[in-house]
Structure 1
Amino acid sequence: MNITDTKSSQGIFNFCDFDSLIQPIQNQDTEIVRQLAFIPRIKDIVMLRQVHALEHATVWVLSELHNTSQNSTESQLLGGLSTEQGFYLYGHFSQATLSSAVETALQRLVGGEWSLAIHPRCGTNLSVGILLAAGLTVGFHLLLPRGPIEQLFGLGLAATTAAHLAPNVGILAQRYLTTAIPFNLAVENVRITRDAWGQTAHFIAVRWIEPSDN
């Protein structure tokens, strides 16, 4: 997820109220893992969704700190990448600041600020946009006459429609598919490391817990 926006999370929903959607239940992911244990790596999939939400929330918290802090030596967050074991964050900030931001993000998410799980610059939105554009392009190709002018018009209409729909559909995809409230996550440690491409990053390691363990 590439991050360049430092606006408040309250302004990212322009067509639906997040709080009006189905609310997360604390033990729902625990039950999913139990009921679908026969599916290979189901726990990893569930963990990845929760880690993804925590990554987004941490980005929001760091953005808020960046906007209010008078310390100009800590630069803006550049991006993040989630895995089922934790997430990478790329940027120049102190480990103490990041550790505090992660714990704050987790507490706020679990405490009910579920909108922090969604970010408008998440890669999910880009993927949704590509899928929408491809699907609409094929649809208009089949529906419109085969003439070059009509087909060119259809291509432009598909691209415009996809660009218009992608942000809102992307938000829904994040909410229901690629993120989940991290009721089952505990932060293990925050360390500086290198990712698979050799880039220096902060890695926030997490572990799975049962809600009753909290």
Structure 2
Amino acid sequence: NLSLIGRADAQGFFIYGAVKTEELKTAAREAIARLQNGEANLAVHPRCGTNLVVAGILAGVAALIALGRKPSVRKIPDVLLATTLAAFVSQPIGLQLQARVTTSADARGAQMTGIRESRWGNIPVRHVDIAWHADEKANRLAKKINQEKLK
């Protein structure tokens, strides 16, 4: 049972935690292949930062509404109920926002080029380097569309 944290950047992604480099390499290659084969759900995760932001915003708004214009200690149960409900409804909203706006599952042209190892205090950190090679078919199609627009 692995306990890992991941974070993406423009050049690939970081994995924080103890995992063997060869296992990570195998898993990364498999994930890229699965994304390239249409498994877009792999790019969406319930503990993504998008979901946390949505939960925070909805809970904050719910608390403000529950407190009203005249905050008082008597409204604490209302605030607790409102923020709990906001946290509950934030999950599906956050997942949809992540899937449609903040995360791309498009892995066309993605290829793992290496893994760099470092440490963050006592925590092993690995960066999986991803190179993005232009999809030749997509480039030809874009050229054709642009030429059609010029006519």
TM bin (shorter chain):
0.7 to 0.9
The Cα shift of 1:157 comes to 2.3
SS in 1 for 2:68: helix
1:88 aligns with 2:14: yes
In structure 2, the residue matched to 1:172 is 96
* Separation (CA, whole Å) in 2 of partners of 1:213 and 1:100: 27
Distance 1:95 1:140, change over 3 A: same
Q: Which amino acid aligns with 2:116?
A: R
Q: Residues 76 and 199 (structure 1 numbering): CA distance in 2 closer, same or farther, change over 3 Å?
A: closer
Mark the runs of 5 or more structure 1 residues left unpaired by the alignment.
1-74
Question: Which deviations, in whole Å up to 9, do the C-alpha atoms of 1:160-181 show, x marking residues without a partner?
Answer: 1112112211211210222101
Q: Give the equivalent residue in structure 2 for 1:70.
A: none
For 2:3 and 2:51, locate their aligned partners in 1 and report how far apart those are by CA, in whole Å. Answer: 19
Aligned-pair identity in percent equals 28
Give 4+ residue runs of structure 1 displaced > 6 Å after superposition.
Answer: none
Counting only pairs closer than 5 Å after superposition, residues 1-214 of structure 1 correspond to structure 2 as: 76-142=2-68, 146-149=71-74, 151-181=75-105, 182-194=107-119, 199-212=123-136
TM-score by length of 1: 0.56
Unaligned runs of 5+ in 2: 139-151
Bigger strand share: 2
Cα RMSD, aligned residues only: 2.4
TM-score (norm 2): 0.76
